[in-house]
Chains A and B, each alone.
Chain A
Amino acid sequence: MPAEAFHEWLRREGRIVIVGASLAGLRAAETLRAEGFAGPLTMIGDEPYEPYDRPPLSKAALLGMASPDHTELPRRRDIDATWRLGVAAAGLDMAARRVRLADGEEVPYDRLLIATGVHARPWPKEDEAQLDGVFVLRTRDDAVRLHRRMKGPPRRVLIIGAGFTGSEIASACRNQGIAVTVAERAGAPLVGALGGVIGAVAAELHRENGVDLRTGVMVTGLEGDVTGRVRAAHLSDGSVVETDVVVVSLGATRNTDWLEGSGLGAGPRGIACDAGCRAFDFRGIVTDDIYVAGDVARSPHPLFGYQFLSLEHWGNAVAQAEVAAHNMISAGADRRPHMWVPAFWSSQFGVNIKSVGVPSMGEEVMITQGSLTERRFVGVYGYQGRVIAAVSFDNTRWLEFYQRLIETGAPFPVEFTTVDRRPEGRKPVPADFPDPSLPTHGPTVTLSGYSPADRQLVFTPARH
């Protein structure tokens, strides 16, 4: 069948299966219908709930502004799908084009979208992770459980890992007057994502708001009482923190286990795909019927040396889902590349933190507007003489301007005059990212693989 005719058939009566019923899965489904896909659509999700929004779980819900079990995403349109909720995908047969479910059923497809996202990295010692009072925060069920315990109120909460989620939870605890200790292996909060210069500002925020922030330490063990409730944590500096609620915030792991043995190019870093969201198989050959979107996808980005980029960003999940859905039912030249500029936000201690680009790629940072001491500023990151990222604390309206600079590869250091430029921000300083081989909390942006320009691999054919 010629491509045109095939895609016409696909749009009319092809079968599309979406694995992952969260933000990316839902927005992809809506896009498919909006673009005229009329065939049967199946949505598979391992949680029993319809798609819900996660950011409020560590913010509004913990602040008491929203109920953690009421964050279902609004629908942009009717998607007329068959929902298989509460049952996980358990396997993929690429040759037969079937997804196997945990209950043994098999679902055939003509086009498959994988949007299975990530799950919270659990506390590595299993018996300690089982203690009553030890939580992670990723799902709605996690949030309901934690929320209930926070109403206790607890005597002291210990948060392990000062990434964005850990910091947001610490902020919510302080907002409600709950005593909180934060333990972070690196020298400051947020350093994995934003570097030590900005991390120092985050550390001040924690301490000024009454957080007992411990940096440069690891939690070596959790201790329970006779009833199996957590009562204390032991730190690598020999100190002991008495606590009755522990929140493990050590980043996330990609949900690709179910693809083991399928032949898809999937692993702990995610699923590799081309710029059009088509997944690669394990031989590096692009599939044309399997697409990926959201946190689980790794795709090459021209702005960042064509390195594979995987992003745990809300906006990326939406944008990538829209591109994947469009490309699934479009032929050749009608397809679009996914070239979203990474962007995320966080809200903690009453400060609005936003970032564009890939800060962790930056070598140097300069404060181009405002000042660190006022905690209202824009920091610009430079990489090899160009602007690679920017972060704002309570200065969001300028970020769009910096996004343009990133997109156009503007020179770094930034020489021109900007509004509210201070003398101390004239010179760049090292951005102070920790050694990437010593991960702290998980960064939400991961660069993986070589740039083709690096030429680090040499192929030497065997002699016969």
Chain B
Amino acid sequence: MRLVVDLNKCQGYAQCAFLAPGVFTMHGEESLVYNPRPGTEQRERVARAVAACPVQAITAEGLDDADEEPVGAGREASDAR
């Protein structure tokens, strides 16, 4: 699973840090720090965080894949934006 947060959009609502605390953490009052490559066991939590973000700032890949992480350039991935 891969993810990226558009921190221009992010307004520090911290919904993601609440729903997937192992992946997203608040660093101070507003700053978000996240693990861009969370393990597959976090999939359910990350999916909830993506859905709950009030400004839709999280792009994740591999949310609905049942298989392992994509490897190598050019590999097909689902459009799970």
A residues engaging B (CB < 8 A)?
A: 43, 50, 53, 55-56, 59-60, 63, 65-67, 70-83, 85, 314-315, 318, 343-345, 347, 349-352, 354, 376, 394-397
Contact = CB atoms under 8 A, between A and B. Distances in A.
Contacts of A343: 8
Contacts of B79: 75-78
A351 B8 contact: no
Interface in B1-24: 2-4, 6-8, 10-12
Chain B contact residues: over half helix, strand or loop, or mixed?
A: loop
A74 B28 contact: no
A422 to B, nearest CB: 19
A338 to B, nearest CB: 16
Nearest to B36: A71
Given A66-B34, A66-B36, A70-B36, A76 B59 contact: yes
Given A67-B37, A314-B8, A75 B77 contact: yes
A349 B36 CA distance: 21
B77 A352 contact: no
B25 to A, nearest CB: 7
Given A59-B33, A71-B37, A394-B29, 13 more contacts: A50-B72, A63-B33, A73-B4, A75-B2, A83-B74, A314-B6, A347-B28, A350-B27, A350-B29, A351-B30, A351-B31, A376-B29, A396-B10
A396 B12 CA distance: 8
Given A71-B36, A78-B77, A396-B12, A63 B4 contact: no
**8 closest Cβ contacts across the A-B interface?**
A350-B28, A74-B61, A352-B30, A70-B37, A50-B73, A347-B31, A74-B2, A315-B8
A397 B31 contact: no
B60 interface: yes
A439 to B, nearest CB: 26
B48 interface: no
A19 to B, nearest CB: 15
A300 B37 CA distance: 37
Nearest to B63: A74
Given A60-B35, A65-B33, A70-B36, A75 B28 contact: no
B41 interface: no
Nearest to A74: B61
Contacts of A73: 2, 4
Given A347-B33, A350-B29, A74 B77 contact: yes
Nearest to A49: B73
A397 B37 contact: no
Contacts of A63: 27, 33
A95 B10 CA distance: 44
5 contacts: A60-B33, A65-B35, A74-B59, A74-B80, A396-B30
B62 to A, nearest CB: 8
A345 B37 contact: no
B76 A78 contact: yes
A350 B2 CA distance: 25
Given A76-B81, A314-B8, A85 B73 contact: yes
B11 A397 contact: yes
Given A65-B25, A76-B79, A83 B31 contact: no
Given A345-B8, A396-B12, A352 B28 contact: yes
Given A65-B25, A74-B2, A74-B61, A352 B12 contact: yes
Contacts of B77: 74-75, 77-78
Nearest to A30: B79
B30 A394 contact: yes
A86 to B, nearest CB: 10
Nearest to B25: A65
